[in-house]
Amino acid sequence: QVQLVESGGGLVQAGGSLRLSCAASGRTFSDYAMGWFRQAPGKEREFVASIRRSGISTYYADSVKGRFTISRDNAKNTGYLQMNSLKPEDTAVYYCAADLTDWRTAASPLNYDYWGQGTQVTVSS
């Protein structure tokens, strides 16, 4: 079992920054990959970024490349998503997720075993 709790969401103006955190408990954090997804009202959940358990390999959606940075601190059992140059289209509920295999395709939500409850990010224009 893995429990994931996101925090750090909020309201920010376009061009601003936020850092999301994902606190993990249960299984050893360094044993699994972690991903971030988001879901806007009326839209499907979409991939944002992921990081392998080692922290060396990262993957990003084209829409966030160069603006968002995913990272993890295995000693603190916490993952992060630094979001810079935010745009109104980034508005969504952001979810972190755990892939216990650490080798499945990062972008598919079907390949994640556990999910957090989500945190709202709203970017005003």
Measured distance CA(21)–CA(9) in Å, rounded: 9
**98 closest CA partner among 7, 20, 26, 33:** 33
Contact (CB, 8 A) for 72 and 79: yes
pLDDT digits (tens, 9 = 90+) for 40-53: 999 999 999 999 99
Tell me which residue has tokens 């972190």: 96
pLDDT digits (tens, 9 = 90+) for 47-104: 999 999 988 999 999 999 999 999 999 999 999 999 999 999 999 999 999 999 878 8
Q: SS3 of 41, please? A: coil
Q: Residue 15's Cα: distance from chain center in Å?
A: 19
